């Protein structure tokens, strides 16, 4: 059967669309408010706490040597106390997020005070006279204050992820499928109804699944297996339009399938590959999707052929969207790379397992 002509070369499934939670709901989610389980958050918290400590001891030291000594003593309290607080906050992020603002602050402040007390006692237990001279009150108050500052930072970080005006705008965009894609898909299904009704039914089922994911709350993350299945449905629809012009190769490692990622992450990438690697080429193009495990992390690569006459594509809205959502979910634990070669374009994503 000959492929159906692409009715509109610019037809797309809304790049990077997905269901954003309502701003108020997003702000109350455990992972959004108490997202302290990432290396990036831990490093930033450590840098901030030690910077505050370094500035604070300036007011207690008259010489550089005294400043170094006081900073070293403070580090002996701050480092173990902060690590303990981060571990406890990470372990209790779900119950903490269910509390209202007031009780949250009380619990977080109390945890900070207890962890600071533990850090002070650790130094005093080693017989350091300076720790005994400082006394427990100062570290306890500082620990509670620092914990509350950290809590406010986490709240601001959560709000930055889903600002109300941006969320409202994206929610409107993400609740729709671009008319051209829908029009072309329905045309493809109608053309198949008479001579291949089973295939037409499969196309409509794939489209219905894409609608379901796009218009239904899917939570904060999905598995790589779910993302691959959705991308396969999208490409199955496009295969009807392009026929032999679209060649897709899948190399999937089952061990990578459990990796978590934001919903609707792969679909805009394979759409980008179709738009720039197939629609713009008279003889079509190839798309290769590969997943594997390397160093305890899942590696996803999507490569597509590019016509020699094609202009150099930049990082469009879809790719920027993917990169930003990866950063918000996995912080420094995720990597996103894109590269244009002479005859191909490749995107690689690395996420923790």
Is 336:323 a contact under the CB 8 Å cutoff?
yes
Phi-psi region of 124 (alpha: psi -120 to 50; beta: other; left: phi over 0): alpha
Inter-CA distances, 51 with 136, 164, 306, Å: 21, 32, 49
Ranges of the chain with pLDDT below 50: 1-2, 4-32, 164-166, 168-177, 218, 314-315
Cα–Cα distance measured from residue 124 to residue 234, given in angstroms and rounded to the nearest whole number: 63
- Identify the H or E element spanning 344: strand 344-352
pLDDT value at position 22? 41
Question: pLDDT at position 179, please?
Answer: 57
User: Is CATH 3.30.565.10 what the domain over 166-352 is classified as, yes or no?
Assistant: yes
Helix (H, G, I), strand (E, B) or coil at 288: strand
HSE, side-chain direction, 13 A CA sphere, residue 93: 18
Contact call for residues 349 and 336 (beta carbons, < 8 A) = yes
pLDDT at 60: 72
Q: What whole-number distance in Å separates Cα of residue 321 and Cα of residue 264?
A: 10
Instruction: Identify the three-state secondary structure at position 267.
Output: helix
Instruction: Provide the 10 A C-beta neighbour count for residue 164.
Output: 13
Strands 246-251 and 297-305: unpaired
Residue 352 CB: number of other CB atoms within 10 A?
14
Q: Are 238 and 207 a contacting pair, CB within 8 Å?
A: no
The whole-angstrom separation of Cα 189 and Cα 76 is: 68
Cα separation, 206 vs 180, in Å, equals 17
Q: State the Cα–Cα distance between residues 334 and 177, nearest whole angstrom.
A: 28
Residues 6+ apart with CB under 8 A from 228: 250, 252, 257, 266, 289, 291
Size (the chain), residues: 353
Question: What φ, ψ does residue 253 adopt, rounded to 5°?
Answer: -95, 115
What pLDDT shows up at residue 7?
42
Q: Would you state the pLDDT for residue 244? A: 87
The pLDDT, as a whole number, for residue 58 is 82
Q: What is the distance in angstroms between the CA of the first residue and the CA of the last residue of the chain?
A: 42
Burial class (CB in 10 A: 0-12, 13-18, 19+), 162: buried
Torsion sign, CA atoms 95, 96, 102, 106: positive
Residue ranges of the domains in the chain?
A: 25-161, 166-352
DSSP letter (8 states) at residue 256: G
Residue 74 to residues 30, 54, 66, 132, 257, Cα–Cα distance (Å): 31, 9, 12, 13, 45
Helix or strand (DSSP H, E) at 177: none
CB of 301 closer than 8 Å to CB of 6: no
Helices 317-330 + 266-277 axis angle, to 10:
160
């Amino acid at each position: 059967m000959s492929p159906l002509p692409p009715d509109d070369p610019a037809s797309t499934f809304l790049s990077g669309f997905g269901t954003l939670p309502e701003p108020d709901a997003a702000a109350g989610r455990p992972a959004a408010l108490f997202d302290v389980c990432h290396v990036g958050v831990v490093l930033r918290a450590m840098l901030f706490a030690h910077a505050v400590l370094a500035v604070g001891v300036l007011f207690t030291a008259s010489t550089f040597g005294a400043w170094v000594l006081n900073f070293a003593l403070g580090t002996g309290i701050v480092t173990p106390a902060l690590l303990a607080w981060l571990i406890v906050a990470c372990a209790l992020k779900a119950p903490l997020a269910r509390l209202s603002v007031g009780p949250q602050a009380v619990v977080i402040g109390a945890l900070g005070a207890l962890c600071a007390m533990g850090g002070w006692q650790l130094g005093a237990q080693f017989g350091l006279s300076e720790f005994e001279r400082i006394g427990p009150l100062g570290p306890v108050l500082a620990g509670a204050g620092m914990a509350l500052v950290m809590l406010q930072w986490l709240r601001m970080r959560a709000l930055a992820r889903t600002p109300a005006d941006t969320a409202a705008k994206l929610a409107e965009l993400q609740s729709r499928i671009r008319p051209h894609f829908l029009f072309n898909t329905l045309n493809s299904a109608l053309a198949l109804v008479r001579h291949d009704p089973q295939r037409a039914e499969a196309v409509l089922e794939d489209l219905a699944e894409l609608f379901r994911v796009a218009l239904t709350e899917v939570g904060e993350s999905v598995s790589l297996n779910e993302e691959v299945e959705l991308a396969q449905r999208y490409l199955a629809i496009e295969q009807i339009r392009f026929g032999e012009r679209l060649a897709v190769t899948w190399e999937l490692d089952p061990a990578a399938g459990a990796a978590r990622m934001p919903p609707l992450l792969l679909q805009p990438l394979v759409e980008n590959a179709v738009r720039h690697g197939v629609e713009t080429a008279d003889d079509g193009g190839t798309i290769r999707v590969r997943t594997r495990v390397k160093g305890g992390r899942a590696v996803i690569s999507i490569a597509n052929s590019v016509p020699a006459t094609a202009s150099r594509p930049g990082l469009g809205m879809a790719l920027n969207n993917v990169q930003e959502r990866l950063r918000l979910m996995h912080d420094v634990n995720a990597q996103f790379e894109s590269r244009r070669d002479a005859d191909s374009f490749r995107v690689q994503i690395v996420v923790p397992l």
